[in-house]
Structure 1
Amino acid sequence: MTKLISIGECMIEMSALEDGLYKKGYAGDSLNMAFYARAFLPETASVDYFTALGDDAESQALAASIKAHGIGTDLIRILPGKAPGLYMISLEDGERTFSYWRSTSAAKEMAQDLSYLTQTFLGDNALFFSGISLAILQPETREQFLDVLSKAKAAGQQVIFDSNLRPSLWQSRDEMAEWTAKASAVSTMALPTVPDEYVLFDEKSSEHVAERYLTAGCREVVVKAGPEAALLTDGSQREWVGPAAAVQPVDTTGAGDSFNGSYIAARLNGRSMVEAAQFAHKVAGHVIQHRGALVPNIQSLVR
């Protein structure tokens, strides 16, 4: 693997401060993952972001911010007349709620060009996408998007999926379940989170979740459970790995994304599943002690 490509939507983030003020930033699950993967992969490994932006000032500033994090922006499609989506975070006792404005986001059209998808994704690349990446696409382009990922899997590429279930982005529960199942079938690694998966698929345990992804064709599954132990399996071995110590969260924004990015980086660096999960828990534990999804200089905090 010479390049990790993260596929999804980066939005303008407005996070609450005091006295009704907000701080502007740029984030999104797939970008957050790329940020943490970039932090822990060697410089010789490229991390690129695939999305679509507009030609407005905020799109330009967003792209500049991505590039400033060391993440490649050459794969970003620029769509004239479009703009990024926006969301606001409200915090209470360390837990967050979101309000979104994304109906006209340029990223919804990032998978329109089949030839560009094929040219970009196929090759010596590892590919990451999430349920959010899939949900925001126009319905007619989801199928061709997954078809290209299926070709990548067949060619021996790593295709990594975090279901990251967001019911508000789907027309119905059945639609979300259908496309989540289709996404798992084209993936080699899955990073789902409970209890969301329990609700969607009427399952009762992490073991049931893991078995469903293995049956779909994933070769490696990490069932995350927040501060509880994650279940790791490749079909032959099964391990439970939890955080080394309990942490009092300040802001849980980006917890799962930082786990994903650091786990993926550790696996691409040759660490075992158990070592990668231990490292990912450690990174996520530091992240939730800071405000915001992206924690600067995270490498210096993780020893």
Structure 2
Amino acid sequence: MASTTQVTIVGSSNVDITALMNRLPGPGETVLADSYRLTPGGKGANQALAAALAGARTEFIGAVGNDPHAEIALGQLAEAGVALDRVKHIEGATGVAIISVDAKAENSIAVISGANSSMEAAAVTAAGALEGVLVLQGEIPESGIRAAIDAATGPIVLNLAPVIDLDRDYLCRANPLVVNEHEAALILAQLEGSKELSTDPEPVIAQRLCDEGIASVVITLGGEGALVAVRGTDGAAEITTLPAVKVTAVDTTGAGDAFTGALAARLAAGETLIEAAGFAGRFAALTVQEHGAQASYPRSLNNL
């Protein structure tokens, strides 16, 4: 049952075209796939579904095209009770992600933005105030992300994936910044104005991100769990490492989005960042045991 807590996601909605194969092809190589499927995806929509399934009253704000893919893209959100009143329907194509998944559950993804590219500043500003915990990713234009941050009425969960250029002032309004280890190094280089990616251990990178002005950071580490850093009044980060739930992974597609959406839901419910990240890790672990992104998200919290 959804709670009265509010999570608002501004972001992307796609249809995933997923090919399952024994191994991923190398450059210039053709590999025969075993099967394929069409499923809803997009980082924003994935996170919205995860937040709703994790118990939050959730709204998704994004854009789809006027093609048959639009119904697929929004179908599972509607079934889960996510509010879709402020989703734009535009002339053109819905976003598409082309995903290859191998027998070891590794994947490679190419995204065609389609309607998501219309989510610029004017479109986001026209949506009005963004209530509760706001969740953002890197799959809409940078101007739309800035406009959403400006319209936020509550905490901002910024999952800057993929990493795009974003002004320091906007990056530093994230609380928390949620990224994987590679994204953390990219954002640190952006903040420090460096052309080189840091090879420091994740706790050091987290501290350096806090030194640059970010109040809190969550770095997801896949099978190694997650790291939570919260900057103290003296500038030093209190760092907590959360172990991973040990499962047999079948498909990791959408697991990071499941983590981010579940994290936002628990923050909206009043949990601490460490408590919310612990729950999000357990939630995400359930998703990697099934194929697909949204289809793999747990419909019951009984095992959490």
Deviations 1:114-149 (Å, cap 9, x if unpaired)? xx533535253321111223xxx2xxxx34641451
> Alpha-carbon deviation of 1:266?
1.7
Question: Letter of the aligned partner of 1:15 in structure 2?
Answer: T
Native 8 Å contact 2:16 2:98 kept in 1: yes
> Alpha-carbon deviation of 1:188?
2.5
Identity in percent: 21
> Alpha-carbon deviation of 1:99?
3.7
> Alpha-carbon deviation of 1:275?
2.1
Segment of structure 1 superposing worse, 195-204 or 66-75: 195-204
The TM-score, its normalising length taken from structure 2, stands at 0.79
Q: Distance in 1 between matches of 2:176 and 2:284?
A: 19
Gaps of 5+ in 1: 167-175
Superposed CA RMSD:
2.6
Q: Secondary structure at the match of 1:276?
A: helix
Deviations 1:136-169 (Å, cap 9, x if unpaired)? x2xxxx34641451353xxx52111012236xxx
Q: Distance in 1 between matches of 2:158 and 2:83?
A: 20
Deviations 1:71-90 (Å, cap 9, x if unpaired)? 1111111212x111222222
1:87 is aligned to 97
Deviations 1:243-296 (Å, cap 9, x if unpaired)? 2x4222111111211111222212222222222222122112111111111225
Native 8 Å contact 2:64 2:87 kept in 1: yes
2:6 is aligned to 3
Q: Distance in 2 between matches of 1:218 and 1:163?
A: 13
Q: Distance in 2 between matches of 1:289 and 1:180?
A: 37
Question: Letter of the aligned partner of 1:125 in structure 2?
Answer: G
Q: Structure 1 residues 218 and 299 mapped into 2: Cα distance closer, same or farther (>3 Å)?
A: farther
Q: Secondary structure at the match of 1:285?
A: helix
2:159 is aligned to 162
Q: Distance in 2 between matches of 1:20 and 1:37?
A: 32
The TM-score, its normalising length taken from structure 1, stands at 0.79
> Alpha-carbon deviation of 1:8?
1.5
Native 8 Å contact 2:146 2:170 kept in 1: yes
1:173 is aligned to none
Q: Structure 1 residues 55 and 259 mapped into 2: Cα distance closer, same or farther (>3 Å)?
A: same
Question: Letter of the aligned partner of 1:240 in structure 2?
Answer: T
2:136 is aligned to 129
> Alpha-carbon deviation of 1:41?
1.8
Q: Distance in 2 between matches of 1:279 and 1:148?
A: 26
Match status 1:108 vs 2:98:
no
Q: Structure 1 residues 249 and 273 mapped into 2: Cα distance closer, same or farther (>3 Å)?
A: same
Q: Distance in 2 between matches of 1:97 and 1:88?
A: 8
Q: Secondary structure at the match of 2:180?
A: coil
Segment of structure 1 superposing worse, 90-99 or 214-223: 214-223
Alignment of 1:1-303 (within 5 A): 2-17=5-20, 20-42=34-56, 45=57, 47-80=58-91, 82-92=92-102, 93-100=104-111, 102=112, 105-113=114-122, 117-118=124-125, 120-122=127-129, 124-133=131-140, 137=141, 142-143=142-143, 145-150=145-150, 152=152, 157-165=154-162, 176=164, 178-179=165-166, 181=168, 183-198=170-185, 201=189, 202-203=197-198, 204-236=200-232, 237-243=238-244, 245-294=245-294, 295-300=296-301, 302-303=303-304
Native 8 Å contact 2:40 2:72 kept in 1: no
Question: Letter of the aligned partner of 2:117 in structure 1?
Answer: K
Deviations 1:45-99 (Å, cap 9, x if unpaired)? 2x1111112223322443344312321111111212x111222222211111224
Tell me which protein shows more helix as a share of its residues. Answer: 1
Q: Distance in 2 between matches of 1:28 and 1:148?
A: 18
Q: Distance in 1 between matches of 2:145 and 2:46?
A: 21
Q: Distance in 2 between matches of 1:194 and 1:298?
A: 29
> Alpha-carbon deviation of 1:213?
3.7
Deviations 1:167-186 (Å, cap 9, x if unpaired)? xxxxxxxxx4x427454123
Q: Structure 1 residues 256 and 52 mapped into 2: Cα distance closer, same or farther (>3 Å)?
A: same
Gaps of 5+ in 2: 22-32, 190-196, 233-237
Q: Structure 1 residues 279 and 61 mapped into 2: Cα distance closer, same or farther (>3 Å)?
A: closer
> Alpha-carbon deviation of 1:235?
1.0
